[in-house]
Structure 1
Amino acid sequence: MANKWGIPQEVEKYVLKRDLFCVYCGVDFSINHESRKTKPSWEHIVNDIRISNIDNIALCCTSCNASKGAKLLDDWLDGKYCKSKGITKNTIAQVVKNALNNPPRLNNN
C-alpha cells in the first residue's frame, strides 16, 4: 500500500519518525508555523519518482521543495536560494549527505 505520491507505507512511517526537521534548511516541523512555506512536504532527494526507498524519500519544507524542483541536488545546493538560506553540503541532514555521496538508484528498492 502506498500514499498518493506512490511512497510505500513502511517508508512513509520511517521517514515521518526520522525527519523531524527539514532535511535541507532545518526548519522544525514540531512547531506550528503560520506560513505554509515551512510545512513538511515529501521530497525525492534524487528526482526520480520510481526511487521510493528510505534513502531517497525525505521530508523538507514546502519552500525548499519548491526551490529545488527538478534541479539536480548538487546544482541546487550551489544556487542562489541555498546561498541565501545558508544551506550547504555541511548543514544538510545526513540522509541527504548520504545521497550526495552514494546516490540512490532504482535497483536499490
Structure 2
Amino acid sequence: MAKRRVSPPGPASLSGAEQTGGATVAVRVRPGAGRTQVGGRYEGPHGPALIVAVGAPAVDGKATEAVRRALAEALGVRPRAVELKLGATSRDKVFVVAGDVGERVAALRDGT
C-alpha cells in the first residue's frame, strides 16, 4: 500500500489567520541574536512570517523555547498559550496562539 502524503495548510492559513479561540502564526527565527526582538516580515515557506530574534542558540530546542516565550510576551498572552505546530528543527516555524491576537500579529509583522 502506498503512503499518502499530507500537505501542510497553505500560506493563507498560516500567517496570523484567526481560528476559533486563537490564531496560527508563521515565524522566522533568528537564533543567537544580541537581544530578543519581535517584529518584521519574512516571506517564508508558510507565507508571510513574523521575525523573532532570540539570544538562545539553535541547539536542543533552546531557540524554539525562547521564541515561544518572546512571542507570548509580545502578544500579551501566557507562554502556555503558545504552542509549536510545525518546524521543531527549522528556522521557519508555525505556532498556534490561544486568544484574540490576529491584529497584534499583523501589526508586529507588517509594522502597522
- Structures share fold, TM-score greater than 0.5: no
| Higher share of residues assigned strand | 2
TM-score, scaled to structure 2: 0.29
TM-score, scaled to structure 1: 0.30
